[in-house]
A = this chain, B = another copy of it.
Amino acid sequence: MKIGIIGAGRIGRLHAENIARLVQSIEIVGISDVNMTDELKSWAKNLGIALVTADPTELINHPDIEAIIVCSSTSTHADFTIAAAKAGKHIFCEKPIDLSVKKGLEAINTAKQHKVKLQVGFNRRFDHNFKQVSDLTKAGKVGDVHVVKITSRDPTPPNPAYVAVSGGIFLDMMIHDFDMARFQANSEIVEVFAVGAVLVDPEIGKAGDIDTAIVTLKFANGAIGVIDNSRQAVYGYDQRVEVFGSKGAARAENDTPTRVSLSTVEGVTSDKPLYFFLERYKGAFVDEISSFVEAIEKNCDVVVSGEDGLEDMVAALAAGKSLKEGRPVTIAEMKKELGVY
């Protein structure tokens, strides 16, 4: 399959390098970026990418290209998705499709009309541990799902300048966990309630955000859940999931660099978790692309749809509203307010 990549920033290059080295079934025809530099050209040449352009429409309209990977800045995601869909290209779009739910919905509907696949970049569903938990649940090993628990903590807080434009902890960070919760519960979230605090860095509070949060969830299937987030776990990236049900519980612990322990007079010491998302989700970044290609080739559903991306965003917005107003907020109420229902 031949593809084009829009955006050669960190994530665009990550996908390009993964594809060039590890996904044999894809050829990268071209990559575009608003900033054309010699460094970019050299990097692309090194990876064997023939076409490097400042104009994304060159890729969108390229006759050989079957699919577009959108890795540009967030404000352009929806427009490129819509343009690519109209050109009949399948789209893998980094999250979020748009900061406006309505605009995101427009992109989704355009992809539907033109019968192209649209996958959103929630890569954690492809993490080997979390996928295994989901597979066990889908295989009935935990029975009916009663409780979904997710812990998600970053190793180091973002700088306050970033925090100010990030959309806040729910849209910037916990949105991944809302997606994970829906994935693991195999059901939609119907209500959220948030508590939060500024405990890591007072500057985050001054930027109008919180850095520590717990959100309870109610799912459509009757299950309940909880997510806890912190902007700083000093021991590393803490990413755990537990699904508890009528027949048992599946738990995913953190990956670690090694399986070595050291026993001394001080105690038994073992590794901290892998440091951050590039290490922990290394394989997941590759697998989400492979899965996207497979969905196109087999003409089956993508694992993370545009609708998934929107539902996750609505949950994040509802959590923000819940925190602000000190009460549970339903997804239905939030959608009504957003005018998307």
The residue from B151, B228, B259, B264 contacting A235, defined by CB atoms under 8 A apart: B264
Q: Does A200 contact B (CB under 8 A)?
A: yes
In the complex, how many angstroms separate the beta carbon of A168 from the nearest chain B beta carbon?
Answer: 17
Would B147 and A230 count as touching, CB distance under 8 A?
yes
Return chain B residues, CB-CB under 8 Å to A180: none
Would B263 and A267 count as touching, CB distance under 8 A?
no
Would A195 and B218 count as touching, CB distance under 8 A?
yes
**Interface of chain A residues 100 through 157 with chain B (CB within 8 A):** 128-129, 132-133, 136, 141-142, 144, 146-147, 149, 151, 153
Would B263 and A248 count as touching, CB distance under 8 A?
yes
Q: Does A208 contact B (CB under 8 A)?
A: no
Would A269 and B272 count as touching, CB distance under 8 A?
no
The residue from B129, B199, B258, B259 contacting A222, defined by CB atoms under 8 A apart: B199
Would B224 and A195 count as touching, CB distance under 8 A?
yes
Return chain B residues, CB-CB under 8 Å to A235: 248-249, 263-265, 267-268
Residue tally, chain A, CB below 8 Å to B = 71
In this complex, what residue of B is CB-closest to A146? Answer: B199
In the complex, how many angstroms separate the beta carbon of A261 from the nearest chain B beta carbon?
Answer: 5
Q: Report copies per complex.
A: 4
Would A261 and B271 count as touching, CB distance under 8 A?
no
The residue from B141, B216, B244 contacting A233, defined by CB atoms under 8 A apart: B244
Given the known A-B contacts A264-B235, A327-B327, are A259 and B129 also in contact in the complex, defined by CB atoms under 8 Å?
yes
Would B228 and A149 count as touching, CB distance under 8 A?
yes
Would B262 and A146 count as touching, CB distance under 8 A?
no
A251 to B264 alpha-carbon distance, docked (Å): 12
**Interface of chain A residues 288 through 336 with chain B (CB within 8 A):** 326-328
In this complex, what residue of B is CB-closest to A20? Answer: B21
Would A234 and B259 count as touching, CB distance under 8 A?
no
**Interface of chain A residues 220 through 265 with chain B (CB within 8 A):** 222-226, 228, 230, 232-235, 238, 244, 246-255, 257-265
Q: Does A54 contact B (CB under 8 A)?
A: no
Q: Does A178 contact B (CB under 8 A)?
A: no
In this complex, what residue of B is CB-closest to A222? Answer: B197
The residue from B129, B223, B259, B264 contacting A141, defined by CB atoms under 8 A apart: B264
Return chain B residues, CB-CB under 8 Å to A260: 129, 132-133, 136, 250-253
Q: Does A266 contact B (CB under 8 A)?
A: yes
A235 to B262 alpha-carbon distance, docked (Å): 10
Q: Which residue, of A234, A247, A271, A272, has the highest number of chain B Cβ atoms within 10 A?
A: A234
Would A146 and B218 count as touching, CB distance under 8 A?
no
Return chain B residues, CB-CB under 8 Å to A35: none
Return chain B residues, CB-CB under 8 Å to A269: 266-269
7 contacts between A and B (CB under 8 A): A21-B22, A146-B197, A193-B193, A195-B217, A199-B223, A235-B248, A247-B265
Query: Interface of A with B (CB < 8 Å)?
Result: 21-22, 48, 128-129, 132-133, 136, 141-142, 144, 146-147, 149, 151, 153, 191, 193, 195-197, 199-200, 212-214, 216-218, 222-226, 228, 230, 232-235, 238, 244, 246-255, 257-272, 326-328
